[in-house]
Amino acid sequence: MALPLLTSSLRTSTILVAVAATLSLLPSCEKLQNGVVNEIEFPEHEPRLAVNMFVSPGDSVVYATVYQSAGVTDTAGSQPLLHAVVSLMQGNTMLLQGDSSHWDVSEPDPWDSWYTGPLMKIVPDAPLQFQPGAVTLVVDASPTFEPLVISEEVPEVPVVGHEFEAYADTVDEGWGYTYFRHRVTVDLENRPGERDDYMVFVEYRDDFEGSQWYNDVSPAFPDPRLAYNDGCQCLLVTDSGEDNVALTNLVLESWAGDEEYTPEGSYRLRVERPTPSLANHFNSVQAYYGALDNPFSEPASIQGNIPDGFGIFGVTNEVVIPLLD
């Protein structure tokens, strides 16, 4: 229904009422302004130890970071503790140690978007070997911080079954472009009474000397048991702690070339079992990135296992299966 037009006298009365109401609000607005505009200082930041290290049996190079955290108003940001000493122990056996001589403080490549600052690169005398039981990380960053000691149980070796089908799929993208996919069907173990998480990679490496393995794996079909995770840059598979969730017949695919180029390198399947704290860390990283671009999401924090600090000491056990040479 259309609103009736206001007569001249009615319009004048309405304006007068509005002006009177506005004038009556002016003192309140002044009070509101004086009461709301306050300077709020950021709370003092208490520096904390921030440590990251990932280890797995067979590692021939281990990377670690040891930093002092900084507040949001500190323009210099977190600082590496170059004097820190990092030791990896199992029982009384020293597996590796890093100190100030192991830091890589070279200038970052401006095109390297993954570079996050100096890190410690440690090369053990021989590839890491673990016995069943706990491994312990000891970080001595004194006098800046009290020594850190944290232990994690070495996970069981994953039990993996697989079937590999080379060039199983041909995908026609249209416009004359066709490419091929290898298919890998994976069977994993769901242990009764245990939560099982797995990090799954299908990796390719060129034949020339010095080439590196890179991961190129995706689900062949939508599957609620697995999803790509930004934290590990892998497919993270989980039974969510349920014994009745079968982790068999996971169908994966990997790029196998196109009509103009066929890779002549090697393919392998790599499956890692992480510690529960590391799996929680990866899930929190995924939640954190998922909330960044969603204005309706609650902010997510990244979980770690460093006591009274930040970061993660992650331990995995893995199986590596050659697929195609």
- pLDDT exceeds cutoff 70 at 184: yes
Q: Which domain holds residue 219?
A: 160-303+318-324
- pLDDT exceeds cutoff 90 at 104: no
Q: How confident is the model at residue 293 (pLDDT cuts 50, 70, 90)?
A: confident
Average the pLDDT over 65-75 and give the result.
Answer: 83
Average the pLDDT over 93-109 and give the result.
Answer: 85
Q: What does the pLDDT read at residue 18?
A: 34
Q: Are residues 178 and 220 in the same domain?
A: yes
How confident is the model over 130-149, as pLDDT tens digits?
Answer: 999 999 999 999 999 999 99
Q: Are residues 170 and 280 in the same domain?
A: yes
Last residue of a domain, one of 137, 153, 169: 153
From residue 216, give the alpha-carbon distance in Å to each of 95, 182, 187, 228, 253: 32, 11, 19, 11, 8
**28 is a domain residue:** no
The enclosing domain of 262 has a CATH number of: 2.60.40
SS3 content of the chain, % helix, strand, coil (to 5): 15, 40, 45
**116 is a domain residue:** yes
> Bridge-partner residues for 65, per DSSP?
52
Token pair of 156 as six digits:
């069981």
Q: What does the pLDDT read at residue 296?
A: 72
Q: How many domains does the chain have?
A: 2
Average the pLDDT over 298-317 and give the result.
Answer: 90
Beta-carbon contacts of 184 under 8 Å, excluding residues fewer than 6 positions away, are 162, 163, 164, 165, 202, 217, 251, 252, 253, 254, 269, 323
Q: Are residues 72 and 116 in the same domain?
A: yes
**210 is a domain residue:** yes
**9 is a domain residue:** no
Beta-carbon contacts of 227 under 8 Å, excluding residues fewer than 6 positions away, are 235, 236, 286
First-residue to last-residue Cα distance in the chain: 78
Last residue of a domain, one of 95, 126, 153: 153
List the single range of 56-70, 94-108, 247-261 with lowest mean pLDDT. 94-108
Q: What does the pLDDT read at residue 41?
A: 67
Percent of the residues in the chain that have a pLDDT greater than 90, as a whole number: 62
Q: How far, in Å, CA of 81 to CA of 73, rounded?
A: 20
From residue 225, give the alpha-carbon distance in Å to each of 49, 131, 248: 35, 30, 10
How confident is the model over 188-234, as pLDDT tens digits?
Answer: 999 999 999 999 999 999 888 888 899 999 999 999 999 999 999 99
How confident is the model over 238-290, as pLDDT tens digits?
Answer: 999 999 999 999 999 999 988 888 888 899 999 999 999 999 999 999 888 88
Q: What does the pLDDT read at residue 112?
A: 52
